[in-house]
Amino acid sequence: MYRAPLEELRFVLEELLGVGQLAACPALADYSDELGMSILEEAARLAETVLDPLNRPGDREGAHWTPEGVSTPKGFKDAYRQYVGGGWQRLGGDPRFGGQRVPQPLSSAVQELWGASNLAFELCPMLTHGAVHALERSGSEQQQRLFLPKMVSGEWTGTMVLTEPQAGSDLAQVRTRAVPERDRYRLFGQKIFITWGEHDYTDNIIHMVLARIEGAPEGVKGISLFIVPKALVDTDGSLGERNEVRCISIEHKLGIHASPTCVMQFGHDRGAIGYLVGQPNRGLEYMFIMMNTARLAVGVQSYAVGERAFQQAAEYARTRIQGRPPGPADGHRLPIIHHPDVKRMLLTMKSCTQASRAIVLYAGLQLDLAAHHPDAAVRNAAQARGDLLIPIVKAWSTETANEVAAIGVQVHGGMGFIEETGAAQYVRDVRITTIYEGTTGIQANDLIGRKIGRDRGAAMSALIADMRRELQALEPRADAPRETRDAALQAVALLESALGSMVTNMAAAPERALAVAVPYLKLCGLVTGGWLLARSAAIAAAGDGAAGQEFYRSKIQTAHFYARQVLPQAIGLSKVVEEGAAGVLEAEADRV
């Protein structure tokens, strides 16, 4: 049974990040910590009582396809009605279109509750948020007026439609074509891997589709973005006839079974009617607005599943009696949580999940500062840091969550391999997170190519400087071991050295940097997590009030474990970054 980690979320939002500071920004002036917690408490009720009970049944039943459409598992449609009725789709939306503006870290924290309780369900609202964001930034006034109010409310949902059978990550190969027809276009083509591309939640689905206008340049420079609704929309917002868009099948997947992953056909006769977003041939630019929104959200999804896997593993370990742990024999058997290795596994799950949560919500704070802070210098610096962190958020958090979910199965032992316990579902569900919205390798290439290569490491150097300054300012206390801070400082030094190596290689021999890009990204996530957990330990050590003492002691313990057992991985990763490229480049492809 899932329990929303409200105290942990309160600590990160209020004490670690100080999200309340955003109330100084005019666009967020109505925000307060009290408002944030009241929203989280209400979201927790929906997550725990409505979404979580549907998670395992939905996994077993899965979505159903027929030529007439796709139906969701029993209970999902009603859950979506409750979700929309509670106004949850409006959270984070632009007030001009009926949304409720709140800080991004709070929106992400709420998304964590949906993802932890039912990842398959959460994917549909997440993609709608991305489509809304793209239209807010790039759509015309008429498009915004026609589509956004009902998308922001959840009356309609949205999708991201990129992939084709021959064009996965290489979008230069997109072949879906768009034929001009007066003030609109007719689209022809097939798209695959379209999450929630068809369902029974709503009467309309707004597809955001990449296609190539006839006569456009080859490659990514000739791609445009189109709005293609499932049902055509009249000028007054009412629904007209069905568009030439249909789901011709759904995939049979490893996990997220309740989430339909669709093969979509656009245009089987006269063509699917679509409306150009922005300027022709700038579709990839507009789509990346959605992609970055989704990459942050996938980071949330991953650690959310990690949190759920940890909760289940910890509960199992507290009740499972097996063997005798070391120590004085008193004739009593104890639960396996007393075995040192089981304790190690659970602390690994807990500390890595907390590190991921801190990084993701910290990134969200940077995006808010970039969007809303009145000082231009602060906005620019925050945008650079937010851009830098997005690939780390997406890739490190998802890779870590996969490890966390796998450890959860290990804690269960043989019972973890049995579907009835539920532990295996988290492994199956979270596995996709390292793949969709850009694989780990793509994120690593983005980090070193676009983010570090673009400014020769300036944004990363600024982050490293802030980490070092804040860690050095922490006052060691007996109840917050000095070694937690010192371990984080040592890891920061390793990251700084690795950055120098990457900057040099990107300038002189880019292939050397690419050969160690993923280890470098993992080093970035590992060290950033160590910095934030060390700060958390210092805050917890200074915490007052008996009611929170047990929670604070746990924070200190978790940070100390991370420093001693997880953060030392930085030594190996930094060595790979600085010395490991040759092992890849000297290998012959036909011998791999």
Q: What is the 3-state secondary structure (H, E, C) of 122-190?
A: HHHHHHHHHHHHHHHHHCCHHHHHHHHHHHHHCCCEEEEECCECCECCCHHHCCCEEEEECCEEEEEEE
CA atoms within 13 A on the CB side of 18: 5
C-alpha–C-alpha distance, residues 94 and 186, integer Å: 30
CA atoms within 13 A on the CB side of 191: 33
Residue type, 497: S
CB 471 within 8 A of CB 538: no
Beta bridge partners of residue 164, listed in sequence order = 167
- Does the CA dihedral 390-218-280-207 come out positive or negative? negative
CB 324 within 8 A of CB 334: yes
CB 529 within 8 A of CB 360: no
* Residue 530 parent element (H or E): helix 517-541
CB 157 within 8 A of CB 199: yes
For the chain, the helix, strand and coil percentages under 3-state DSSP, each to the nearest 5: 65, 15, 25
437 included as an active-site residue: yes
C-alpha–C-alpha distance, residues 453 and 517, integer Å: 12
Residues 6+ apart with CB under 8 A from 99: 90, 91, 92, 93, 152
Which of 136, 437, 496, 578 is catalytic? The answer is: 437
- Does the CA dihedral 564-566-572-578 come out positive or negative? negative
The DSSP-derived string for 540-581 is HHT---GGGHHHHHHHHHHHHHIIIIITTHHHHHHHHHHH-H
CB 494 within 8 A of CB 574: yes
Catalytic residue positions? 437
